[in-house]
Structure 1
Amino acid sequence: MKIEQIYTGCLAQGAYYIVSGQEAAIIDPLREVQPYLDRLEKDGVTLKYIFETHFHADFVSGHLDLSKKTGAPIVFGPNAEADFETIIAKDGEIFEIGNVKIKALHTPGHTLESTTYLLIDERGKEHAIFSGDTLFLGDVGRPDLAQKSANMTQEELAGMLYDSLQSKILPLPDEVTVYPAHGAGSACGKNMQKETVDTLGNQKKTNYALLQPDRDSFVEAVLDGLTAPPKYFGMNVAMNKGGYESFENVMNKGMNPIAPQDFESVVEQTGALILDTRSAADFHLGFVPNSVNIGLKGDFAPWVGAMIVDVKQPIALVADAGTEEEAITRLSRVGFDNVIGYLEGGFGSWKANGMETDTVKRISPDEFAAGFTKETKVIDIRKETEYAAEHVEDAFHAPLDSISEWAGNLASDDQHFFLHCAGGYRSMIAASILNARGIRNFTEVEAGFNGIKKTAVPTSDFVCQSKNLK
């Protein structure tokens, strides 16, 4: 028996590849399926089942393409309703893969169809659980995402999740290995550990949600501090339920070079958003006017989802040469399939052809500190928890993911301000969006708060609610 966790850092997502004898199973596959096909061919095994723990909200699964290419059936848990052929497992149903068995444990609460898959090894021993978004390391799945489809409150779903954990997961042996669908950084939970594999026994000792004394305490603890989910989540759920265009078609359409001389007219005709995936360090020095910068070397796909939201939005790429395919792949993982092409030769070609360019003013933390006074207006776009822990004294708090709500307040304010995040990645996203909206009376601080706190700029370790920018 072989179990391989295939972890994708930018999505904080774990897919699983299981082999026993001449058969294999894959759990929660990513959109691009070629890596799985390569593994199957290398091992000389047949894919028997594709298991889905639930309808994912934060990424588009590869279940449909993988099933079409291998003939393997797709398995969902009870209550799942999809627009394609699938096996709907019964609670407790056994699926055999080679010499091992996988038992479906219906564990609703995160969603109504959420199912944990229990692996029983060749000796008949309960070996591991693939817990999806039911149980994370250090956390459990958020119960607020399925309220609309379930016609239930988040409190009712949280209570259902408590019952699932108590009846299906906690009675399992402590030595059972826990393989979750996500780790730290995912928006599907709030308190996930950086580790991606653990024992159930250790989670019983360390997971705050599993340590709650009763149902009411669990509900209160799990719901406390939840922030609004990214707005693209519902669109990904719809794609996972209803189907989507094949990955090959998405890639073929996106790998379309557009000459610099034609780029503007193509963008105008299609209504495309110009997405520049270069680093913040390169972007601020020069870019195609009205571009939005979301760097490929970072949490690219989740931030694309949070900032662009509409998965049907046409996108024209500006990317470093040779990274176009990676960008299209990572966009497709969160359902952004409408890439119409990329700027041929990248920004260097645009500049060489004498096309109009734009810039963002960026300074170092030391330069920021040298000019800092009590009157300096600072906007901190980090998450609320980051801001609460420590921030520049009297800085306004304006989270990046709600920029559409607060950017308008800046349009009528002529006062110059300084913009920062933790390290410069998110603040350049914000800078590009503000710039595209005609707001230019700002300077972005390189290295963000990580750099600022090393200077003499005064910082505070308490939340000043009156300084929230609204």
Structure 2
Amino acid sequence: MDVSIVETSGLGDRSYLVSADGVAVVIDPQRDVDRLLDAVAERQLRVTHVLETHIHNDYVSGGLELARVTGAEYVVPAGEDVAFERRPVADGDVVDAGPFRLRAVHTPGHTHHHTSYALSDAEGTVVAVFTGGSMLYGSAGRTDLLGDEHTEELTRAQYHSVRLLADQLPAEAAVYPTHGFGSFCAATPASGDASTIGQQRRDNPALTRDERTYVEELLAGLSAYPAYYAHMGVINRRGPDPVDLSTPTPVDPVELRRRIDAGEWIVDLRHRTAFAAGHLSGALGFELSDSFVTHLGWLYAWGAPLTLIGGDDDQIAGARRELARIGVDGVTGAATEPVERLAAGQQLRSYRVADFGELAKVLDDDATIVLDVRRTDEHRDRHIRGALNIPIHELLDRIGEIPTGNIWVHCASGYRASVAASLLDRERRTVVLVDDDFADAADDLPTN
């Protein structure tokens, strides 16, 4: 029996393909199911079942489409109010795939109906468990996605769910969570790349702390999560449309300028330093990297038309795929010509890129404003003395709070600061992008 991991690093999630004797089961597939279909075809597998651990809040599921294409049975936790045909499973139900079986274990906490699946081989030995947003590596799924009125109840349920898995399953059983690899669905940062039930018994706070302490610590550790989460559950319950990864319509310089002047979202995917060196007036810089889709989805005006500028067709295709994973389907065009040509004679805008050492030299200048766009909890932990903290996801609504002057904008590593710099530049503010690692470079600056 083989368990293959399908990584989606941009969202911090994993999907799984379990196979034996030509039969396969998929757990928590992402919307771009072509990756799984390629793996299935390459190994000449037959998918019999597609399983969801929960209705996802951080991505659009590919489960419905994958089940349709392969003819597999679509398995969803009982109690979820969905608008499509599926097999509802409750605690103790067994999904029989022939060479192996998966037993449903009701593990509420991340959601009310969240279900884990214990995997047994042909001899009936439990060899693994797919924990979705329940037991993560040294953590657990966050419990505040369904509203404040449910958070404490779900936090207590999460504590008992993690303990249920630890009590029911053997120490050597492998743990395969969906979240916890950078996803905001983790309550606190997860650690490690692999684990077992035995390791979690030693390391997981839900298994090493009493309930009161665990609940207090988890609630205190919850921070803001991306705004696009509000749309994922709605889409997944309704039944997502098949993914569209087609090449967006090419856009010429005249049309590009018209869209910018109309206030549409024009997103430049090039590296942050290339954007700073020269970009179209009114465009926003979202470097295509592992941080791209989370932060664009966080700031994006949901449903607005979006045009991409990239260095080449591969960059456009990569961004299209990332955006489709969170249901941003309104990509209405793309341009890959050199930015100087796209400007069509208009002057490009630019701003300075610096490091913390350069900031230290001007910190006492009255014209220097330090803008920290990290989350509030990051700023509270340690920050440059006198810095103004406006988290990146609040910046669009709070730009007016930033005084006039030379705005030196920073985050933890440079990505969020680069997005913020482009937003400020669009407003014609004087900005310097601090493209540096705060954990190291801030040692040279006065901090609190």
TM-score, normalized by the shorter chain, greater than 0.5? yes
- Between the aligned partners of 1:275 and 1:374, the Cα distance in structure 2 is 33
Q: Which residue of 1 aligns with 2:245?
A: 251
What is the aligned partner in structure 1 of residue 209 from structure 2?
Answer: 212
Q: Distance in 2 between matches of 1:286 and 1:186?
A: 32
Question: What does residue 120 of structure 1 align with?
Answer: 120
CA contact (8 A) 1:403 1:430 kept: yes
Structure 1 unaligned spans of 5+: 463-470
Do 2:277 and 2:350's aligned partners in 1 also have CA atoms closer than 8 Å? yes
Return 323-332 or 396-405, whichever deviates more.
396-405
Q: Look up the SS of the partner of 1:418 in the other structure.
A: strand
Superimposed CA distance per residue, residues 300-344 of structure 1 (whole angstroms, 9 cap, x where no aligned partner): 11111111151x221000111121111100011111111001024
What count of residue pairs does the alignment treat as equivalent? 446
Q: Tell me which residue corresponds to 1:432.
A: 422
Question: Distance between the aligned counterparts of 1:141 and 1:193, measured in 2?
Answer: 10
- 1:399 alignment partner in structure 2: 391
Percent sequence identity over aligned pairs? 29
Does 2:371 correspond to 1:379?
yes
- State the secondary structure of the residue aligned to 1:217: helix
State the alpha-carbon separation in 2 of the partners of residues 434 and 446 from structure 1. 15
Equivalent residue in structure 2 for 1:361, among 352, 355, 366:
352
Q: Does 1:163 align with 2:150?
A: no
CA distance in 1, matches of 2:406, 2:208: 49
For the residue of structure 2 that corresponds to 1:335, the secondary structure is coil
Structure 1 pair 169–114 and aligned structure 2 pair: CA distance change class (3 A): farther
> What is the Cα deviation at residue 390 of structure 1?
3.3
* Amino acid aligned to 1:441: T
Does the alignment pair 1:295 with 2:291?
Answer: no
Contact 1:231/1:309, CA 8 A, preserved across alignment: no
Give the aligned residue type for 1:115: T
The 3 A distance-change label for structure 1 pair 336 and 99 is same
Contact 1:258 1:341 in 2 (8 A): yes
Unaligned 5+ segments in structure 2 are: none
Amino acid at match of 2:230: G
Q: For residues 43 and 176 of structure 1, what CA distance do their matches in structure 2 show?
A: 25
Which one-letter code corresponds to 2:349 in the other structure?
D
- TM-score normalised over the length of structure 1: 0.89
Match of 2:71 in 1: 71
SS in 2 for 1:391: coil
Moved more, 372-381 or 312-321: 372-381
Shift in Å at residue 172 of structure 1?
1.6
Q: Is the CA contact (8 Å cut-off) linking 1:365 and 1:451 kept in structure 2?
A: no
- Match of residue 195 from structure 2: 198
Q: CA deviation at 1:6?
A: 1.4
Q: Which residue of 1 aligns with 2:322?
A: 330
Aligned to 2:180: 183
**Is the counterpart of residue 308 in structure 1 residue 306 in structure 2?**
no
Contact 2:311 2:336 (C-alpha < 8 Å) held by counterparts: no
Which residue pairs with 2:275 in the alignment?
A: 283
Residue in structure 2 matched with residue 223 of structure 1 by the alignment:
219
The residue aligned with 1:262 is 255
- Deviation, structure 1 residue 285: 1.0
Note the C-alpha offset of 1:448: 5.1
TM-score normalised by structure 2 residue count: 0.93
Whichever residue aligns with residue 171 of structure 1, its letter is Q
Q: Say whether 1:22 aligns with 2:22.
A: yes
In structure 2, how many angstroms separate the alpha carbons of the residues matched to 1:51 and 1:162? 23
Partner in structure 1 of residue 96 of structure 2: 96
C-alpha offsets along residues 206-260 of structure 1, whole Å, 9 cap, x if unaligned?
A: 111221223x33322221221132211010111111123321xx323x5211112
SS in 2 for 1:198: coil
Superposed CA RMSD: 2.1
Equivalent residue letter for 1:304? L
Q: In the TM superposition, what is the alpha-carbon distance from 1:25 to its structure 2 partner?
A: 0.5
